[in-house]
Structure 1
């Protein structure tokens, strides 16, 4: 499966993506926004290549290089899904994340006949909130103490 945009494509992950995916996940700017981070290449391979039936994970591919992911998960056909994403530092600030979110959202809405696609963003992650806003998402509120990570409760915006 491939979804094409002007400067990137969204495609399903392949084994050759695992090493760069793992390396990018070690970026503190990425890791601090996720509940878990793979601790080894083996963990990364399992997380990247094994999907459940209520999820579609796409690699953001620029010129053959995996520079991020878009994850459509918690899919309830005919109702809703949740979107998550990240991009490597070298791909930030170019509109790639926004365009990838738009493309993946349109795909999910159409394929699964969804009424909504929602996204959660840590309240400290203003650039990610801006991605969703530029992609047409509307801030619905703040979920206080929504996640517990390393003994600290984190607040999330919900779009």
Structure 2
């Protein structure tokens, strides 16, 4: 399945994405506010391992953001379990040359609509590092609402930060 945006496509990860993934992910400004599972430096071996790991997983919840036939970012809904089984957690990143163009906001809108239509969830949430104001704006423009701040909940590169919690509800559950 592909989701079409304005000048980009969201699609599953494919063999052949490794070189562009490595090129665009190997940037300390990209990894600055991502979980530690997203390495920096981002090597070609990291890209190969990622594509091998994620390719063909069902249901499709993890998409490459493709611009001009290159994987220039990623966006995903991680499905939660147990008492949280009707909740997904959204995460995304985009290569620095494409920041500020509205691509991330449109990608969040596309995957949110996809998730509510095809996945058995009624809520999507996002935890954002306190210094990542750009990501907060992306979520707010996409209709997500800040529900609270978890104090001293995240650590990145030795710095403790607050976690800003955003969420959106499936329209019929809001």
Secondary structure of 2:74 counterpart: strand
- TM-score of the superposition, structure 1-length normalised? 0.88
* Residue 50 of structure 1 pairs with residue 53 of structure 2: yes
Structure 2, unaligned runs of 5 or more: 167-174
Counterpart-to-counterpart distance in 1, 2:77 and 2:156: 22
Give the superposition deviation at 1:12: 0.6
Tell me the equivalent position of 1:94: 101
Once the two structures are superposed, residues 71-112 of structure 1 have per-residue CA deviations (whole angstroms, 9 ceiling, x without a partner) of: 111345961100101111111111110000000011011111
Tell me the equivalent position of 1:121: 128
**For 1:67, which of 63, 72, 95 is the aligned residue?**
72
Tell me the equivalent position of 1:138: 145
Task: State whether residues 26 and 43 of structure 2, in contact with CA within 8 Å, keep that contact through their aligned partners in structure 1.
Answer: no
* Residue 30 of structure 1 pairs with residue 14 of structure 2: no
Counterpart-to-counterpart distance in 1, 2:64 and 2:93: 10
Tell me the equivalent position of 2:169: none
Tell me the equivalent position of 1:155: 162
- TM-score of the superposition, structure 2-length normalised? 0.81
Between the two proteins, the alignment pairs up a number of residues equal to 159
Structure 1, unaligned runs of 5 or more: none
Counterpart-to-counterpart distance in 1, 2:104 and 2:68: 15
Tell me the equivalent position of 1:104: 111
Tell me the equivalent position of 2:170: none
Counterpart-to-counterpart distance in 2, 1:55 and 1:153: 33
